[in-house]
Amino acid sequence: MFESMKNALGGSGVTLENGGVILVSETATASANGLVSHFLSWGISNNHPVCFVTLQQTWSHYCNIGNKLGVNLRQHAEKGHVKVIEGLKMTSEVLDGVVEDISDHPFGFLMENCKYPLKNLYCLIKETVKLWKEKYFLLIVDSITSLLSLGVTTKDLDIFIQYCSSLINHASAKPIGLLVLVTNYDEKDEDVSHVTKSIAHNAIMHLSVRGLSTGLSREVHGDLKLILYDRQKPHLCLPEVQHFQYKMEDKNIKLFAPGTSACVL
């Protein structure tokens, strides 16, 4: 787990143990892989089971990041602490004809028209987290906007997100888990913008990762904004925003105040 991120989240006043929805948005020039790895490590280190849906990167990719951080994700998966739904692998199964009967396949909608294309994927997620109904758990989806490129409409994606949210709020006034949704944000893409803003509307926090407006730098890799929403005070229209610049290191995310690096002055 990245200590700098832990301190930043702690300083923001947001307690992850209280659960809720967290939005993580990245761009083409800045990856959120480090933040996703942070939440994975946080869940494991706090003995919270994790359901990890990989739609953009492979499971092996995150295992390699985990190895650098000293976390053996494959070992945790073997012990059942992490349940992985490999979207890229399942997509290949359907497109390559590996699976003959795709009627119940999570990505069967790629080959057959379905009224509710993401129903089977949701049912698989629901079945996975059902074992943890008495425990606090994490559900991480990276990157949920990847489904748009597979032909899923924003309407169907909105419905899917609502159902995923219900898994951590089921029959409880207080969330029983943490839902982390990653989007690949592009303000010129109306569908992606719609999904990102829709998630933000119900999130307790939005972690926004962007590349530097001044271009690439060795010492500063991008901007990170923590946008905090107080759901207990809906009359407060404007969220609290904390702005950092960051540098990705092998075992850490280095955060610092904007303008304090000589490289971007």
199 vs 154: CA distance, rounded Å: 12
Question: Do residues 71 and 41 touch, judged by C-beta distance below 8 A?
Answer: yes
- Looking up tokens 């009627």 gives 103
**Candidate from 27-31, 47-51, 121-125, 137-141 with smallest mean pLDDT:** 27-31
Please give the domain boundaries of the chain with CATH numbers for all domains: 3-264 (3.40.50.300)
Q: State the pLDDT at residue 90.
A: 94
* DSSP assigned state of 106: T
Note the pTM of the prediction, 2 decimals: 0.90
Q: State the pLDDT at residue 264.
A: 46
Q: Which residues contact 196 (CB under 8 A, 6 or more apart)?
A: 23, 25, 145, 183, 185
104 vs 124: CA distance, rounded Å: 10
Three-state SS at 235:
coil
- Is the confidence at residue 50, as pLDDT, over 70? yes
pLDDT tens-digit map of 204-230: 999 999 877 666 666 677 888 898 876
pLDDT tens-digit map of 172-189: 567 789 999 999 998 889
Question: What strand order describes the sheet that includes 252-256?
Answer: 82-86, 50-54, 137-142, 177-184, 20-26, 205-210, 222-228, 240-249, 252-256
Res. 28 pLDDT band, cuts 50 70 90: confident
Q: State the pLDDT at residue 262.
A: 53
Provide the percentage of residues in the chain whose pLDDT is more than 90.
51
Closest CA to 203 of 161, 244, 246: 161
pLDDT tens-digit map of 86-98: 999 999 999 988 8
Beta pairing class for 177-184 and 20-26: parallel
Q: Which two tokens stand for residue 139?
A: 């559900």
